[in-house]
């Protein structure tokens, strides 16, 4: 009996996906462990592996199809000894069977593109590797103009080299001239928009703001970085990268969550869930959207470990290689726009988290010190809270704790 291949749930919140490409064609032999397709989720493109041997008898969902529901049949796999006539005898609505599994993520999810112009062989879709598609998009190279040297005529990275000196303009869908150019939504931006819209509509936000004088933090950071060779555990990260202000912010937030555990909570229909682990999510900007990788058990990690792990997660995020467990969950979030010179801003809570800390730039400002006017490094922090979980008093206690750790960094280095 033919075995249905279904759209897998690649994350707990995934309800539908986009079938980016088929790696196999109808009639191709398939072995367990072979990649048969690429599925685009809200965060990345995941490879789909077969877990049974057989022959790809029928492709039900074509490449490029979006909005494919989880557990819906996307293909039929013929068992050994079966031919295509068995497909006609198969039930029309077979029960979903888990015959495929996701492998490691590969490339950043490409934005849905308009139909490609037919190639000389008459195929309407340009066969290309995810990396080739990403590079072609960045370099404005028309994939349809290239001759692929990969398997089955697939366009690969080396094929772009010959076209890089004379790139062909990309062909996004165009609205009437007076309106401008339409840039299709990729899954990351679409899902982010849906989640933030839902959060803004359903979560009663409350905002608390505080200014932190961070002269001592800046001095401690400079001293630790200067002594990185002597104090590798307290100074730079193991591979020699210097500590950033954001590393101190992550540690301060983790310590504050430990001090005010009421902040490390989530709203549920049954009650308020007090989280056992302090997992801090950090917003990372991508060319095609936003993602929040997570530092797990952040309160148990030193500055060097936080710095190294955060940089590794950010690199994986930009390469589209984060696994779901590296960006899903988290009890609290940080969004830092200080590197862009932003003084202060308010962020939207990302459910089911109950709070997010928006961090601005540390800049020189007039302050009153010992009753006299002075100049100090001041950093504004704005806490956004889910008022169903966190009231003003709890939020104030948490923000006061964050301020205390940032202004007296030695208290979080012990």
The CA-atom distances, in angstroms, between 197 and each of 239, 265, 349 are 40, 21, 11
Among residues 185, 242, 387, 388, which one is catalytic? 387
Q: Can you tell me the distance from the alpha carbon of 389 to that of 352, in angstroms, rounded to the nearest whole number?
A: 11
Query: Is-contact 291 12, C-beta < 8 A?
Result: no
Q: Can you tell me the distance from the alpha carbon of 331 to that of 355, in angstroms, rounded to the nearest whole number?
A: 8
Q: Can you tell me the distance from the alpha carbon of 86 to that of 135, in angstroms, rounded to the nearest whole number?
A: 42
Whether 387 is catalytic? yes
Its sign, for the CA torsion 275, 279, 283, 287, is negative
Q: Mapping DSSP to helix (H, G, I), strand (E, B) and coil, where does residue 76 land?
A: strand
The CA-atom distances, in angstroms, between 34 and each of 17, 28, 56, 178, 266 are 20, 12, 12, 48, 40
Rounded (10°) angle between helices 392-407 and 245-259: 130
Catalytic residues: 387
């Amino acid at each position: 009996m033919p075995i249905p291949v279904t759209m897998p749930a690649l994350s707990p919140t995934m309800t539908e996906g986009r079938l980016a490409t088929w790696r196999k064609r109808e009639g191709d032999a398939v072995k367990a462990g072979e990649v048969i397709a690429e599925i685009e989720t809200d965060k990345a493109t995941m490879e789909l592996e077969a877990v049974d041997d057989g022959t790809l008898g029928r492709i039900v969902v074509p490449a490029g199809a979006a909005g494919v529901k989880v557990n819906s049949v996307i293909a039929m796999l013929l068992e050994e000894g079966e031919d295509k006539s068995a497909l006609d005898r198969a039930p029309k609505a077979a029960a979903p069977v888990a015959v495929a599994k996701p492998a490691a993520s590969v490339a950043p999810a490409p934005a849905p593109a308009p139909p490609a112009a037919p190639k000389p062989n008459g195929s309407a879709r340009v066969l290309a590797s995810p990396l080739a598609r990403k590079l072609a998009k960045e370099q404005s190279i028309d994939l349809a103009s290239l001759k692929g040297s990969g398997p089955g005529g697939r366009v690969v990275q080396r094929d772009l080299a010959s076209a890089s000196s004379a790139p062909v303009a990309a062909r996004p869908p165009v609205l009437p001239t007076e309106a401008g150019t339409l840039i299709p939504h990729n899954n990351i931006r679409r899902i982010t928009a849906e989640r933030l819209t839902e959060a803004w509509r359903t979560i009663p936000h409350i905002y608390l703001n505080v200014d932190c004088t961070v002269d001592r933090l800046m001095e401690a950071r400079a001293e630790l970085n200067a002594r990185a060779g002597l104090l590798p555990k307290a100074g730079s990260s193991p591979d020699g990268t210097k500590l950033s202000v954001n590393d101190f912010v992550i540690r301060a937030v983790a310590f504050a969550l430990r001090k005010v555990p009421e902040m490390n909570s989530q709203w549920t229909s049954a009650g308020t869930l007090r989280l056992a682990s302090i997992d801090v999510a950090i917003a990372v900007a991508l060319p095609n959207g936003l993602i929040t990788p997570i530092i797990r058990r952040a309160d148990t990690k030193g500055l060097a470990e936080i710095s190294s792990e955060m940089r590794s997660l950010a690199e994986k995020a930009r390469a589209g290689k984060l696994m779901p467990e590296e960006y899903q969950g988290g009890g609290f979030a940080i969004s830092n726009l200080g590197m862009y010179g932003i003084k202060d801003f308010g962020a939207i809570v990302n459910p089911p988290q109950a709070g997010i800390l928006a961090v601005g730039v540390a800049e020189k400002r007039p302050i009153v010190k010992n009753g006299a006017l002075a100049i100090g490094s001041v950093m504004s922090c704005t806490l956004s809270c889910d008022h169903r979980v966190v009231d003003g008093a709890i939020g104030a206690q948490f923000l006061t704790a964050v301020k205390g750790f940032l202004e007296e960094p030695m208290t979080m280095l012990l």
